[in-house]
Amino acid sequence: MIKVARLSPKTRQILNGFVIVSSILLCIFFSLTRLPGMELLGIGPNWLMMWVIAWSVKRTIFQAVVAGLTLGLIQDGITSSYPSHVVVLVLIAYITAQIQKQRYIKEDLMSVVLIVFMMSLFSETLLAFQYVISGIRPLDEIWLDYQQIALSSAILSSLWTPVLYYPLNNWWENIKTLD
């Protein structure tokens, strides 16, 4: 195992970029698959949203919004572009970074799990709102599906958050202390 502290700052920066990209790719992979324990009523966790929140908790608003925009475009690229995940992930990134900037929360695991739960409900609400505005589906169908989807997604996303947040947070903290 290579000691990260012994690496040059440029090499650490490249390694950090590799960790960021590979963690995003892993989230995309998990978004596209349903492994046992990752599904409740046919709904899986929102991995890209969890990544955006994990990133945004300790970043500036600009960095958070860029991450939300990028991952929103990726998610729209692998799913349909309507309803737009870009709007949702940018707003979630902005709100999460703003919460952190105002120091309303601590940067501990339980706070991040709570943020993921609330932002998951917010995300599904925005997506449902986009369906209502577009008129693609009747409001009564959207309301019935919304309840099931929002609660299932919020529960699963918050339960799986430590699996993603804890290693990434440790990595970013170690890299930050070395720089």
Q: What gap in Å lies between CA 123 and CA 172, rounded to an integer? A: 26
Q: Residue 69's closest CA among 49, 44, 88, 86? A: 86
In a domain, 1, yes or no: no
Query: What single-letter DSSP state applies at residue 136?
Result: S
Query: How many domains in the chain?
Result: 1
| Angstrom distances, CA of residue 81 to CA of 3, 112, 162 | 42, 28, 29
Neighbouring CB atoms inside 10 A of 135's CB total 8
In a domain, 2, yes or no: no
Report field, pTM of the whole predicted structure over 0.85: yes
Residue 40's SS3 state is strand
In a domain, 55, yes or no: yes
* Secondary structure of 55-105 in HEC code, one letter for each residue: HHCCCCHHHHHHHHHHHHHHHHHHCCCCCCHHHHHHHHHHHHHHHHHCCCC
Give me the residues paired with residue 40 across strands.
Answer: 43
What does the angle CA 55 – CA 85 – CA 81 come to, to the nearest 5 degrees?
Answer: 140
> The domain that contains 74 carries what CATH number?
1.10.1760.20
Domain ranges, residue 107: 8-173
In a domain, 3, yes or no: no
In a domain, 17, yes or no: yes
In a domain, 179, yes or no: no
In a domain, 178, yes or no: no
In a domain, 147, yes or no: yes
pLDDT tens string for the chain (179 positions)? 467 777 787 888 899 999 999 999 999 999 888 888 788 888 889 999 999 999 999 899 999 999 999 999 999 998 876 778 899 999 999 999 998 777 666 668 888 999 999 999 999 999 888 888 888 778 888 888 888 889 999 999 999 999 999 999 999 988 888 77
Query: What single-letter DSSP state applies at residue 37?
Result: T
* CA-CA-CA-CA dihedral for 162, 163, 168, 170, to nearest 10: 60
